[in-house]
Amino acid sequence: MKRKVTLKQIAKELDVSISTVSKSLKNSSEISEDTRLKVQAFAKLYNYKPNNIALSLKNKKTKTIGIIIPEIVHHFFATVISGIEQVANEKGYNVIVCLSDESFDKEVINLEMLANGSTDGFIMSLSKETQQKKDFHHLQEVINQGMPIVMFDRVANEILADKVIIDDLLAAYQAVNYLIEEGRKKIALITTVDYVSVGKLRTEGYLKALKDHNISIDEKIILKIEDIDNCSDVIQKLIIENDIDGIFAVNELFAVVAIKEALKKAVKIPEELSVIAFTDGIISKFSTPTITTVSQNGVKMGRKAAEMLIERLETEDEEDERYRTEVIETNLISRESTKT
Amino acid sequence: MKRKVTLKQIAKELDVSISTVSKSLKNSSEISEDTRLKVQAFAKLYNYKPNNIALSLKNKKTKTIGIIIPEIVHHFFATVISGIEQVANEKGYNVIVCLSDESFDKEVINLEMLANGSTDGFIMSLSKETQQKKDFHHLQEVINQGMPIVMFDRVANEILADKVIIDDLLAAYQAVNYLIEEGRKKIALITTVDYVSVGKLRTEGYLKALKDHNISIDEKIILKIEDIDNCSDVIQKLIIENDIDGIFAVNELFAVVAIKEALKKAVKIPEELSVIAFTDGIISKFSTPTITTVSQNGVKMGRKAAEMLIERLETEDEEDERYRTEVIETNLISRESTKT
DNA sequence: TTTCAACACGAAAACGTTTTCGGTAACCCA
DNA sequence: TGGGTTACCGAAAACGTTTTCGTGTTGAAA
């Protein structure tokens, strides 16, 4: 087992100083060609690679991006990571991933953990609990220390930082419009509890679309679901007890459960009931019938977030306080769960 | 913007030496209670946290695990990461994730990148290309440098290291047996190309099950698919041209495509055709009909891998060359795509 | 012969820790 | 009063780099 070789060892072996070795490897003109080549040959032979930690300490740059997200077993977040990793890779950065598990405390711990030198900046999406508590002091503190943060999807208006979002309200509005133009009159909404920022915005879009078409709002067919694992019963109830002809769901899981429950009751999709879901994930593509969705391009969001962060990291004039909010466009992918 | 405070700054401010500050914060008995409390109060006030990079350099430990996987937009890998992160978190480690995109070169680059001090060890699953080339010198080199590697799922027999796998052959054997015991006579196999280690093993299990029941092997109903994105045509052909009554697919994507194609042709599932898939992912749970699967507990694999790696990292007597291969049990989750 | 530039290289500081070792008082006991 | 202990603190090395500055040697010009 041959341990990694250091500058010091090379210096000793070749009977020169550490400085000489370092300069030789950097092709400094200060060093004679003789010694330069000698050192380079030796370094190559022993497969010398500079130690990243030492470099980080010296340069006060880790070339590492911290990602903190609620969970990873979730197609959307996985695609975002994928996008981040792509541009990080291109620009020579690594990514270190932490999961908050939707917990405020874990989010704080992870953030503080990584803020002590491990990363140059953060890309994050807030945990549900954080959004509920509306406590963002941990973010503010990190920002005050001079570490840039880019937030995506679940962002906080209270925090001044770069952000990457989609226009949740507009996209929801358009999706519901789509159903209305199909001729649907009684469109149900299946959404999350209100403190999840995106859920709230999508709900607003739904309400606005109905209002703009003079369709009265019926609270009975607006379902706010907290526990995603046990939602089938309430959804079934929604379908049986109201003769709805359209469903707008804020995620594909709600949608697929709704479709299953409808099929059980022999409701024909899309003839009698149209379904549109937010988030174009793996489920929508492969369910039967396939589901019309608002596609939320996670890869693109990740790429954009990484670009924004790295730009801020690498721009010299640090204090440009003009934070940007980038809106990624969505598009409606129509599939079998709607008529047109 | 107040930058992070260091020992040196505290020392200067309080007019003591750096050593005194360091010892005070560690509650060393060498320091008088007076100064100790004074220092601690000051440190707390300025929210002092030791710099991780400096610690890493000093201790030659980063408390960071490198994960290198083919891709993250894949439910199985996401669950594995989730498992790794759980125990890493418990034991005070961070994880840094790199994606090889199934490319040998990227795998090598990532490995070398992280091996230069950034991580203490690795958990990885090989890229397809690496498995095809059978070139593992990059792994061997890292191991030679004294960094432990734990491989999971797509492992290499040629490399001596700790491994976490499932018994692919046995699980496939049992799955096919299940179909046979249902009374299926003509069972098709939809698998990957052979160089993917797990695909090969699952194929072997399929063959063994047929042999053990004296069912003759029909090469026409064994489909080896390279391009997962355009597999529907060949699968459709398989279903129309052979009157098969069972399908064993080595992943859920193949299975769901097969089901869709069968339904198109009005083949009744499971009455006329049973389907079992490997990998219990999100698709199997929500497709219509839901799919009977061999569940491959990714979280458990991840947890196990992380435990093995951390144990090796933290055990003093470094050179215990007895590498272990841990086999995670699978179980068959029967759903609507099979009769019993 | 003196002077000066060019050349080649090394010493040392710096990044932020931890830890070993020494040192200086004050105190105790004989 | 002398020797030894104890309590408290600081200097310095170490981790592996990079970079600034200094220094010695050479050769050529004056």
Tell me which residue of A289, A302, A278, A306 sits closest to A168, measured CA to CA: A278
Contact A275, A259 (CB under 8 A): yes
Contacts of A75 in chain B (CB under 8 A): 73, 75, 282
**A72/B78 Cβ within 8 A:** yes
Interatomic separation, CA of residue A58 and C1' of nucleotide C20, rounded (Å): 25
Q: Is the pLDDT of residue A280 over 90?
A: no
A1: contact with B, CB 8 A cutoff: yes
For residue B229, what pLDDT is reported? Answer: 81
Greater model confidence, A3 or A120? A120
Nearest residue to C13 via alpha carbon and C1'? A58
Q: What share of chain A is helix, strand, coil (3-state, %, to 5)?
A: 45, 15, 35
Q: Can you tell me the distance from the alpha carbon of B75 to that of B67, in angstroms, rounded to the nearest whole number?
A: 16
Across the interface, whether the CB atoms of A286 and B260 are under 8 A apart is answered: yes
Q: Are the C-beta atoms of residues A290 and A329 closer than 8 Å to each other? A: no
- Distance in Å, residue A160 CA to nucleotide C30 C1': 73
pLDDT tens string A32-57: 999 999 999 999 999 999 999 999 99
Burial of B322 per CB tally in 10 Å (0-12, 13-18, 19+): exposed
Q: List strands edge to edge, sheet with B246-249.
A: B222-225, B187-192, B246-249, B274-278, B292-295, B331-333
C-alpha to C-alpha distance for A240 and B230, rounded to whole angstroms: 39
Q: How far is A38 from chain B (nearest CA, A)?
A: 23
For residue B1, is pLDDT > 80? no
- In chain B, the percentage of residues whose pLDDT exceeds 70 is 99
**Which residue type is seen at A108?**
V
Cβ-defined contact of B57 to A57 (cutoff 8 Å): yes
As given in the structure block, the two tokens for residue B144 are 């030679």
Q: Is the shortest CB-to-strand distance from A257 to strand D under 7 Å?
A: no
Residue A198 token pair? 């995106």
**What percentage of chain A reaches a pLDDT higher than 90?**
91
Please give the pLDDT value at position B230.
Answer: 84
What is the model's pLDDT at position B3? 82
pLDDT range class, residue A319, cuts 50, 70, 90? low
Dump pLDDT digits (tens) for B27-58: 999 999 999 999 999 999 999 999 999 999 99
Contact present, A207 and A252 (Cβ < 8 Å): no
- Pairing between strand A121-124 and A162-166? unpaired
Judging contacts by C-beta atoms under 8 Å, the chain A residues touching residue B96 are: 64, 94-97
* φ/ψ bin of B335: left (φ > 0), alpha (ψ from -120 to 50), beta (otherwise): beta
List CB contacts (< 8 A) between A85 and chain B.
72, 97-99
Residue of chain B with shortest Cα separation from A145: B3
CB contact under 8 A, A73 and B75: yes
- Closest nucleotide to B18 by C1' from CA: D10
B145 touches chain A (CB under 8 A): yes
**Dist CA B314 CA B143 (whole Å):** 16
Q: A96, A100, A109, A257: which to substitute to probe chain B, counting the most B Cβ within 10 Å?
A: A96
Are the Cβ atoms of A94 and B98 closer than 8 angstroms? yes
The confidence score (pLDDT) of residue A318 equals 59
Residue A230: the pLDDT is 84
Q: Is residue A49 within 8 angstroms of chain B, CB to CB?
A: yes
pLDDT-based confidence at A330, cuts 50/70/90?
Answer: very high
Segment A112-141 shows an average pLDDT of: 97
Using a CB–CB cutoff of 8 Å, tell me whether A251 touches chain B.
no
The pLDDT confidence band at residue B184, using thresholds 50, 70 and 90, is: very high
| Averaged pLDDT for residues A167-185 | 96
d(CA B271, CA A28): 76
Distance CA B66, CA B122 (A): 5
Q: Which nucleotide has the shortest C1'-to-CA distance from B58?
A: D15
Give the CA dihedral A148, A152, A155, A161, nearest 10 degrees.
Answer: 20
Q: What is the mean pLDDT of residues A303-317?
A: 91
Which residues numbered 160-219 in B keep a CB inside 8 Å of some CB on A? none
User: Which runs of E-coded beta strand occur in chain B?
Assistant: 64-69, 94-99, 121-124, 149-152, 162-166, 187-192, 222-225, 246-249, 274-278, 292-295, 325-328, 331-333
Nucleic acid strand D: bases within 7 A of protein CB: 7-21
C-beta neighbour count of A15 within 10 angstroms: 7
Find how far residue B191's CA is from the centre of its chain: 20
Of B116, B282, B287, the CB nearest to A52: B116
Same fold, B62-165+298-328 and B168-296: yes
As a 3-state breakdown, chain B gives helix, strand, coil percent values, each rounded to 5, of 45, 15, 35
The confidence score (pLDDT) of residue A79 equals 97
Residues of B in contact with A257 (CB under 8 A): 286
Count, in order, helices (H) and strands (E) of chain B. Answer: 14, 12
Find the mean pLDDT for residues B213-226. 94
What is the distance between the alpha carbons of residues B73 and A75, in angstroms, rounded to a whole number?
7
Q: Are A122 and A111 a contacting pair, CB within 8 Å?
A: yes
Look up the pTM and report it: 0.94
Mean pLDDT value across chain A: 94
Distance from CA of B283 to the nearest CA of A (A): 6
Output the CATH code of domain A62-165+298-328.
3.40.50.2300
Residue B228 confidence (pLDDT): 79
B97 CB within 8 Å of a chain A CB: yes
Question: Is the CB of A97 less than 8 angstroms away from the CB of B85?
Answer: yes
Note whether B75 contacts A: Cβ–Cβ < 8 A: yes
Given a cut of 70, whether residue A149 has pLDDT beyond it is yes
Using CA atoms, how far apart are residues A220 and A240, in angstroms rounded to an integer? 12
Nearest nucleotide to B20, CA against C1' atoms: D9
* The residue type at B74: H
Domain covering A168-296 in this structure, CATH number: 3.40.50.2300
Q: Is A80 a residue whose pLDDT tops 70? A: yes
Q: Which candidate from B3, B85, B287 shows the least CB-CB separation from A288?
A: B287
Q: What are phi and psi of B93, to 5 degrees?
A: -110, 155
Q: What is the mean pLDDT of residues A223-230?
A: 87
Report pLDDT digits (tens) over B108-126: 999 999 999 999 999 999 9
pLDDT band at B227, cuts 50/70/90? confident
Q: What is the pLDDT confidence band of residue A277, given thresholds at 50, 70 and 90?
A: very high
For residue B82, the chain A residues in CB contact (below 8 A) are 71-73, 99
**pLDDT at residue number B226:** 87
Closest CA–CA distance from residue B26 to any residue of chain A (Å): 18
Cβ contact (<8 Å) for B99 and A78? Answer: no
B42 and B9 Cβ atoms separated by less than 8 Å: no
Compute the average pLDDT of residues B222-240. 90
Give me the residue spans of the domains in chain A. 7-50, 62-165+298-328, 168-296
